[in-house]
Amino acid sequence: MKGHEQIISAGIDIGTSTTKLILSRFTLVNTAGTTQVPRIEITNKEIMYKSSIYRTPLINDTLIDMKAVLKLVEQEYQKAGVRPQDIQTGAIIITGETATKQNAEEMLHLLSEKAGEFLVATAGPDLEGIIAGKGSGAQQRSKEMGKTIANIDIGGGTANIAVYQAGQLCGTCTLHIGGRLIEFENDKVKHVSAPVRRLLKQLGLSVKAGDQAAFEFICPVTKAMARILGNTLKQQLTEEEKVLLLGHPPDWKVPIDQIMFSGGVSECMYGQESSSGPYMDIGVYLAKALQDDPDLRSWEWIPPAETVRATVLGAGTQTTHISGATIQVDPVRLPLKNLPVHQLDMKRNLEDGSNKVMNAIQQAIQVYDPSLEGKNFALYVTGLPFLRFRDVQQLGKWLLEGYKLQPHPSNPIVIVLQDDLAKVLGQTLQAMQSDRDVICIDQILVEQGDYLDIGNKLQSEVVPVVIKTLAFHS
């Protein structure tokens, strides 16, 4: 019933080569009619501030310079005129090779603590691709045009592919293809990364530290990378070519209509960077090889809305969801961070519900708190049939019975519902017992194995929610 509310969201991307930050202002409006139960939506996202692109501060090959990163973020906040406590939502993503550093996880959680009220730590090659595909505009375009678009975000360390069809994610894939996989110093090769060394061996080539950094030596490598990318998009990877695969093979099941490139290397392709310039690596050669590859050229190329900032833009503007407006939460318990999601599918009926609930909670404890240390989880209840009041009471009883299995009653009961039922279920759980706090939110789509962060309650009575993965690839 209030007019509207504004919150500030931050996005921070700590990548293989570069680190950048973005601040945006979200407008939340009740879009339901006056005779309806409120429905709060983000109606506008305005970019307030874009930082410069910084080289990611490293201490050595295996450690991120955490102090320098923190200082960098502080400086940028100052320039933008915001304080960490003004940041009400957003995400930090640690991407590419940086995610393999020894202190990557520590870095991420430290920054998430220090740089905002509710700033979510995220990592994982699939998530990088998904977020970049949203930041580059590929997802939006596929939705508008009804086409299948693959967004290929190529940074320093990895190429993250996300395929969207009519706005829906169809699959992802990550490859060891990036500008910084071979580094130069004074026209000589300084470093060749491990996956590229494996590729070189396969191709029968030799590029090693100290070699001349000449185009003719590098060209066969970047050409091979372009070929492998093309075959990945067509899902025709040979066994040998899988040498560059990071994680699972491509998993989309639809042919791709159009492709879009984002990330630092795409900056070179769209002419913003002309020489290997400040980065001293194969980025420019790679860009050229991609542009010349006949296979890749056979698709229609769509210029991205954002190139090097696609991931940070996605992290800052596309990761926050808003819960339903009728929810039941205990404000002192918020924010809640890094909760693993366990799904309880009721399969559209309440038959045998007691067992279904009990089994799900038992499983969740086994998986996420095997040594019973009190690690909490979010129970995601889906497939509920139409519930009468007595059904809600019944469900509440089953849940409380199940939650007795949890060894630490000081943890709140966290329940996420797909359907609009959080308020009544939350109230029911509270009416039935007063020992445990209840956080019950709804109208959020998550999946088994996702992680969930729930932010502070906003004036509009909703909570911001970020759904993410936390996978540090090695």
Query: Closer CB to another protein, residue 117 or residue 420?
Result: 420
Provide the pairing of β-strand 120-123 with 168-175.
unpaired
The residue type of 456 is: N
Query: Closer CB to another protein, residue 168 or residue 448?
Result: 168
Query: Closer CB to another protein, residue 229 or residue 327?
Result: 327
For residue 337, the surrounding DSSP H or E stretch is: strand 336-345
Give dist(CA 232, CA 117) in Å, integer: 40
Three-state DSSP state, 325: coil
Query: Closer CB to another protein, residue 114 or residue 348?
Result: 348
Least CB distance to another protein at residue 441 (A): 13
Query: Closer CB to another protein, residue 326 or residue 376?
Result: 326
Give dist(CA 116, CA 37) in Å, integer: 31
Least CB distance to another protein at residue 429 (A): 11
Q: Name residues whose C-beta falls within 8 Å of residue 61's C-beta, 6 or more positions apart in sequence.
A: none
Q: Which two tokens stand for residue 244?
A: 């560059």
Query: Closer CB to another protein, residue 195 or residue 324?
Result: 324
Query: Closer CB to another protein, residue 3 or residue 204?
Result: 3
Least CB distance to another protein at residue 234 (A): 22
> Which positions lie near another protein, rule CB under 8 A?
1-2, 34-37, 146, 165-166, 326, 328, 386-389, 392, 419-424, 426-428, 430-431
- Contact of 356 with 342, CB cutoff 8 Å: no
Query: Closer CB to another protein, residue 238 or residue 389?
Result: 389
Least CB distance to another protein at residue 231 (A): 27
Least CB distance to another protein at residue 45 (A): 23
Q: How many helices (H) and strands (E) does the chain have?
A: 13, 23
Q: Which two tokens stand for residue 147?
A: 């086409």
Least CB distance to another protein at residue 219 (A): 42
Least CB distance to another protein at residue 440 (A): 10
Query: Closer CB to another protein, residue 431 or residue 445?
Result: 431
Least CB distance to another protein at residue 388 (A): 5
Least CB distance to another protein at residue 431 (A): 6
Least CB distance to another protein at residue 390 (A): 8
Query: Closer CB to another protein, residue 48 or residue 387?
Result: 387
Report DSSP letters for 210-271, one per residue: TSB--HHHHHHHHHHHHHHHHHHHTT---TGGGGGEESSPP---S---EEEEESHHHHHHTT
Burial class (CB in 10 A: 0-12, 13-18, 19+), 197: middle
Q: Name residues whose C-beta falls within 8 Å of residue 459's C-beta, 6 or more positions apart in sequence.
A: 2, 5
Three-state DSSP state, 363: helix
Q: Is 245 left (phi over 0), alpha (psi -120 to 50) or beta?
A: beta
- Contact of 105 with 472, CB cutoff 8 Å: yes
Instruction: Find how far residue 320's CA is from the centre of its chain.
Output: 10
Pick the closest to residue 376 from 445, 433, 314, 451 (CA basis).
451
